[in-house]
Structures are given as structure tokens and as C-alpha cells.
Structure 1
Amino acid sequence: MKRVVLASLVLALSFQVNAQKKKKQDKEAIKEMCGCFEVTFNFAETFQFSEDSLYKPSKTKTDKGLEWAQLIEDDKNKVSIQHLLQVGPPNKPHIVKHWRQDWLFENTAFYMYNGDNEWTFQEKEKDEVEGQWTQKVYQVDDSPRYEGSGTWVHVDGKSYWENTTTAPLPRREYTKRSDYNITMRGNRHEITDFGWVHDQDNAKVIREGDKDDVILAHEKGYNIYKKVDDSRCQAAQDWWKEHDNKWATVRTKWNAVYGRNKDLNLEAKVDNKVLYKHLFDEEMTAKEDIEKVIESFVK
């Protein structure tokens, strides 16, 4: 009997040690996405299913940029990375606050996009997300975009994470297309010897009420992040130091909104301006003003 108990304790301890080792390896992979990168964005519509003979597929899009990914939080169960685009001539660059990604370990609370600026709050059971990391992706104004949970895989010298989830239309599409309202994003993040790759297999989806989803087209995305010397993104690093406090205030307010744990419906515009234009205003710095304008978009 004693031997059985001892064997069980040894097995449990071994499992715990291996789980902690795996979690550490996961975090190291996530943090490999920090730093200065030359980015190539590639998107192409691959298959069309529209019955409209006049349907026009989206044009293939390729773009390049320099992006700084700043580690802003590194806690036991959370890693947060803020992306900043550095554009224009090297001697006088312009900085654009870009997307943010938060990684949460064994997270159970989700905001799932349901079309038309609505996110449905969902809770999962702990055993559904055991050992998994949720990637929560935010808009440039730190409002929600999409999120999903998956397991980081480390095998054959590769480290990657995969998930499929609903998302709003990408910026390159939403001002040009109104024939679909949801992107079903198949995301794969893979760490490479040169940086990392964001590999996407997306579906353009029409969602209407209680009807079955209709897939309008498929799209391939392949974004390559090639790591370069951090000094090339010095302007972005300096910009973040100057504006960090303001955006910490923005995140704190949004965290309070998300903490309500209920469905979220956002206005598209307030006072004829989208949220990021309010928050990008250099005069918008006071905590009360930031909180007020964010709350004005929450229906």
C-alpha cells in the first residue's frame, strides 16, 4: 500500500514538474514575438463561392513595414505585447500604434465576435482549457477584436500555436466590402530561426440571425516577421516611453469593461468619429476624458 501511495506521489510530482517546464517553454516562445521586425504582409483570396455572377474577389495585397513589438506585461499567467508600426524615412519616422496581443494561461472568460460590432461573452470549464493559452487580440484603440484558446506545440524543433475563431473584417477590407460580416480566422503562430510567421487560413462569412453561416470566399494570409537589430526601431521605443502612461489608462478602463462579463455591443461612431480617432488625439490625455469617451462607445 505504501509503495502504491509513494508511486502515485512520484507520478504526480513528475507531472507537475513537466507541466511547469512546458509552461515556461510556452512563455519563451510567446516572448520570441517581441523585438524589431521587418514585416511582409501577404493576403490573397483563393476560392469564391458566391452565386452572384458579378462578384469581384478582393485584390491580392502585399505590403511591407517595420514593426516594434514591446513587451508590456510578463506575469505568471499573462504575457502582453504591444505592436507599433514605424513608417516613413529613417531620419524622420512616424509611429502608428498598431494591434496588441495578450496571452493568458488557462483562461476561461471569452468575448466571441458575432458580427455587427457585437461580442458574446462565454465561459469555458477549466478542463476545456487545461494547459492552453488564450490569445486575445485588440484593435489599435484597445477595443476587442478576436480571441481563441489553443495549446503551444513544441516538436521536431518547431514551436507553434493554432486556433480558429470569429473576427471582424480586417482593416484592408471593412472600408471596401459589405457583402460579408465575419472573418473566420484560422491562425497559426510559428516561431522560426529568423523570427516568426503568422499563417492564416480565413473564411469570409455571411452571418444573418438564426440562419446557417454562408461562406462567401476563402483567403490565405502569410505574414513574415523577420527579426532585425532593435536599434532600427529606436524611434518606436522612444514613442512608447512617451505615451505608455496614456495607453495604460486606456487598458485599465477597457479591463473594467471586460470585467463586467456580459455581452458587449459597441457603437461604430460617436460624434461622427470612430474610437481610435478620439483616443489618438494628442489632447486626449486626462483619465476622466479617456474613461468617458470609451464608455460612450459601450451600448
Structure 2
Amino acid sequence: MISIRSFLGAGLLTLAFAVSPALAHPPIAAEQAAATFEQDRADILAMAGNYKVRFDMQESTRWDSAYTPLDRKISGGHEVVRVVEDTGRKIVLQHLLVVEMEGQSHIIKHWRQDWEYEPARVLVYSDRNAWTFEEVPERMRTGRWSQTVWQVDDSPRYGGWGQFETQGGVRRWRSNWTWRPLARRDAVRKPVYDRYLSINRHQNTPDGWIHWQDNSKMGPKNGKLAPIVQEYVLNSYTRFDGYDVKAADDYWAATKDYWAAIRAEWDRIAAAKGGIAIQEEAETGTVISGRLLELGDDVAKGRTSTAAALSEAKKLMDANTRKL
């Protein structure tokens, strides 16, 4: 296993981080931050709604001459995004996929995004099977937001921080460089790369919003982490109500207490163990993800109580995480 710390020590990230927002963008004055705070919040909250989603992924430039980039892949689906928490300085958005199979609607709890204003630290992907807290430089906190993305079982995926800015008449939020574990689409293929180094952007559009990712796929080479290929991902969320939105809302109404307790348990584990260390699994994200989702489905369908599901879930989470 090649650690990210070793990679940093090798100096290969010097150029990458030289163009990160932490250095390219100066600190934000308090007056400027106050003037744009409500617009920032409005842009985040505008991502909630009912959508038709288009996922457009393209491996483009190879950095390793021995690697052949994958063909472009386009897919899509229907996704509901709901605000599950808004305290002013923290906004939590939950995504739910709605899939039609044999005339029935099936709900797949999808990713979650947490936005926090002027955070002191962010939970980030630090190495294989591990997420740790990373301090945000104090001079870079004013006026900036972190975005932490969580997997389908509410375990962490990646975190970053950045600012809203307007360029060329388009307003967007842009992250710093962030490490990420492989997405399922890559992990199941067991590729030569084993993680991403990414910049993440969110931009509102007249019809919804886009999530734009610039991913350097990294893998071990000659005892160090090295770039293998560049990938561009554009996920487009277009407002659309022509599917079974009610099924998603019914699922969330039935399971929201269960998932709120799961979120709280991950937070407790991270605080007690110095982060979250859990085995990753290609098909599901973590080794316990499948079971946590099954328990949520059992609650939604009335096959078990929220209390009983949580009792099993908490035991699984404690048993499968370790101290960092």
C-alpha cells in the first residue's frame, strides 16, 4: 500500500497544490463574506428538488504511456434531493435515487452532502480505509464553505473546502484539491489506480445545477503514487417531476430517524477514534454498507423497528471501525 503521506513526501504534489484555492485565492475580508453569505446559502439550498440526472464520465489524458483510457460512459436516472438539516451555518442535503423495475418504484439511498460555513477542520480521505480530520488554515476560513460527501451508508467519502466565486458571469463553488476513494464504477474493475486527486465544482443553472469533477486517477508506480489518467465527470441535474417522487419521500419519512441516528453514530466514532477507519469494499463502499442499507429497507417496509435496526447497526459500526 502506498500512503498519501509518502506521496506528499515525494514532492509530486508540489505543482498540483500550487494552483489550489488555498494559494491562488487570497483570504476573504469579513465585510465581503457577510455580503455574500445569504447568496451562498441560497445557492446551496437551490440544489434541493426533483431531478432527471445525467452522468457523463470520460477518461481523457493518459499520464502513463502503458495505460489505455476507458471509453466515454453516459448514464442517468431520477434523483430526489431533500434538505434534512439547515441551521444557518450548516446545510445537509440527502440524495435518493428512484428506480423503476417491473412496474414498481425502488428507492436507493444515495450520497449525502454536508455544507459548513467557516469550518475549523474537515474530515478527509487520508489513505486506503481511513478518513482523518484536516485543519483548514485559519486565514482561509472567513467566507468559505466546506463540503463533506458521505456514502450511501453515511460513512465518509471525501471532504474539501472552498469558496463561491463568479467568473465570466457564472457563479460556482470550487473546492481545494481533495483525495477520494475509488467510486464503485472503477473499484469493481480492480484498475491500476486506487484513488483520485480531485477538484470539485457546483454551479446552478437555469434548469437545475451541475456537479463538475476533475479527477486525477492515481496509482502505485515504482514505489510511489503517480498519476495514471485524467477523468472529467459532469453530472447534470435537470428539474423534472415525471416519476414517482412520492416513493422517495415516503421512504425518507419512514427511515429518517434511523438515518439520523446512523449519522450521529458516525460522528461519535470519528470523535472518539480520531477519524474513521473501516475496510473499503468495491461493491458497496464499506464492508458494512450493504447491511446498514438492508436495515434501512426493513424499517421502511415495517419488517423491523427503528430501535432494533439501530441496535444491530451500532454494533456493526463499532466492531468494524478502529482507532487511528
Kindly tell me: are residues 259 and 129 of structure 1, through their superposed partners in 2, closer, same or farther at Cα, counting changes over 3 Å?
same
C-alpha distance in structure 2 between counterparts of 1:49 and 1:223, whole Å: 24
C-alpha distance in structure 2 between counterparts of 1:84 and 1:224, whole Å: 15
Number of residue pairs aligned between Structure 1 and Structure 2: 280
Deviation at 1:207, TM superposition (A): 5.1
**2:79 aligned residue:** 67
Kindly tell me: are residues 182 and 127 of structure 1, through their superposed partners in 2, closer, same or farther at Cα, counting changes over 3 Å?
same
Deviation at 1:153, TM superposition (A): 1.7
**1:152 aligned residue:** 164
Equivalent residue runs for 1:1-299 within 5 Å: 19-52=33-66, 55-88=67-100, 92-154=104-166, 157-163=169-175, 164-206=177-219, 212-229=224-241, 232-260=244-272, 262-268=274-280, 274-281=287-294, 282=298, 283=304, 285=306, 286=308, 287-299=310-322
Of the two, which has the highest radius of gyration? 1
Secondary structure at the aligned position of 1:201 is classed as strand
Deviation at 1:289, TM superposition (A): 1.8
C-alpha distance in structure 1 between counterparts of 2:31 and 2:58, whole Å: 44
Unaligned runs of 5+ in 2: 1-28, 299-303
C-alpha distance in structure 1 between counterparts of 2:180 and 2:264, whole Å: 23
Deviation at 1:280, TM superposition (A): 1.5
Unaligned runs of 5+ in 1: 1-14
**1:9 aligned residue:** none
Aligned identity (percent) is 32
Deviation at 1:157, TM superposition (A): 4.9
In structure 2, what residue type is equivalent to 1:274? Answer: V
- Whether the 8 Å CA contact 2:269–2:275 is kept in 1: the answer is no
TM-score, normalization by structure 1: 0.85
Secondary structure at the aligned position of 1:59 is classed as coil
RMSD after superposition: 2.5
C-alpha distance in structure 2 between counterparts of 1:232 and 1:17, whole Å: 45
Deviation at 1:156, TM superposition (A): 5.9
Kindly tell me: are residues 207 and 75 of structure 1, through their superposed partners in 2, closer, same or farther at Cα, counting changes over 3 Å?
farther
TM-score, normalization by structure 2: 0.79
C-alpha distance in structure 1 between counterparts of 2:158 and 2:320, whole Å: 18
- Whether the 8 Å CA contact 2:78–2:243 is kept in 1: the answer is no
Deviation at 1:121, TM superposition (A): 2.4
C-alpha distance in structure 2 between counterparts of 1:79 and 1:86, whole Å: 23
- Whether the 8 Å CA contact 1:34–1:71 is kept in 2: the answer is yes
C-alpha distance in structure 2 between counterparts of 1:19 and 1:111, whole Å: 23
**2:24 aligned residue:** none
